Amino acid sequence: MSEKVKVCLIGGGSYNWSYGIIRDILMKSGVRDLDFYLYDINLKAAEDIAQLGRYFNKKLGTNASFTPTRDKDRAFKDARMFIITITTGGLDAMEKDLKIPEKYGIFHTVGDTVGPGGWARALRNIPVFVNFARDIEKRSPDSFVLNYTNPMTVCTKTLCVASHLKVVGLCHGPFSFYDFFKDVFNLESEKDISMVTAGINHLFWLLDFKIKGKPGYPLLKEKLKEKPLVKYGLYVVNDIFEKYGYLTYVSDRHPCEFFNQYITPNKERLRKYHIRRTSIEDRRKSLKANIKFIRDTYTKNKEITPPSREIAADILGTIVLNKEIVDVVNVPNIGQISNLPMGAVLETFGVINSTGFHPVAVGNMPNELVNITMPHILNQELIVQASLEGNLNKAFKALYNDPLCAHLTTSKIKKMGEELLQAHKNLLPQFFK
């Protein structure tokens, strides 16, 4: 009998992520004899997911084992892969990330990446990720670590600087191009689309693409004469495309937070660009619905949904079965984008195999896109430094530099930052001993 492959889900009780990750691994990784360890501080949630996994076994004819646990030694020892899907402080902390900036004219749509909300979320997550990196390296030094937690760039960078592990950040954002182009060009398969993307998580740029081997941007411009981007509900993306001539993430809710003109200084801007915010109430309703869906699935014999385009399962299959795939990765810059800082975590295509995650060279990014992207890269690097050093001065410098704070005076930014820090004081051990 072959040796079982151990996969540890950190945040294994996630009602948002664990269903899809486990389903995908069981249905499309090609790996059998799996041991899932569901590590979570919320043991009840992890037990729910364990019951779900056993139900998947019954429906799919698989024989994976599922162990919910709060025991880090037990969960982390000798794992082949770790998948991280946590958020430090949960929705109660995120509520403060959204509501405190509102008082200062910043109306986050998501609040998990940049701006004051992303800043506070990063500062909460970094100490936790430092501990994860060290604990994983101690117990499973040859493992692969897949991070889904936001802020993606900051959390992935933290894992990289705090360990020598094989680390990648994963996001489904670039898949949006495939869905969009299949719609625009009436394509049946993403194999008809080839792309070059470059940037950072949630602010990546489509530098070039082809549709069935033909240059894509000229074809797209012709199509947009018939049906412009705003008809697809992409008001922010349309504005960015008209200014710079390149597409970014074809979903307004993330890109708008990287600029200072869409969600500040009042709600009139949101109305102008038809921007829908995800409120904390929306998130609580979604969580409640996810819990019901998962419990109904294993108690009422529900059908399992089809596998997703997420690639965690493909990566596991690649590693265990010695294959190779190419997909989007968030990894430190080793020259894949030659005019962005070395070591900064960037989002490009990469080769994934049993030796690790290897970014594909893009070359230079156009200067006009560097001008937009660079401030965020430098800020994200500064946030990680500030947190690792326990340096509040550096943390505030990052907040002062954030484009979403451009309409505020320095004293107002400092006041907002201090409110956020006090609101999360018990989750910021690097600053408050």
Give pLDDT tens digits for 168-186: 999 989 899 999 999 999 9
Cβ of 187: how many Cβ atoms within 10 Å? Answer: 15
Runs of H (alpha helix) within 185-332: 216-226, 235-244, 267-272, 280-299, 312-320
What confidence score (pLDDT) does residue 1 get? 46
What confidence score (pLDDT) does residue 433 get? 82
**Buried b or exposed e, range 52-91, using 16+ CB within 10 angstroms:** bbebbeeeeebebebbbbeebeebbeebbbbbbbbbbbee
Q: Which residues of the chain have pLDDT under 50?
A: 1
Average confidence score pLDDT of the chain: 98
Runs of H (alpha helix) within 61-151: 72-76, 90-102, 115-139
Which residue type, as a one-letter code, is found at position 413?
I
pLDDT in tens, 188-214: 999 999 999 999 999 999 999 999 999
What confidence score (pLDDT) does residue 2 get? 63
Cβ of 279: how many Cβ atoms within 10 Å? Answer: 14
What confidence score (pLDDT) does residue 3 get? 83
CA atoms within 13 A on the CB side of 336: 25
pTM of the shown model: 0.97
CA–CA separation, 96 vs 422, rounded Å? 10
Architecture category of domain 5-93+112-173 in CATH: 3-Layer(aba) Sandwich (3.40)
Give the start-to-end residue ranges of the domains of the chain. 5-93+112-173
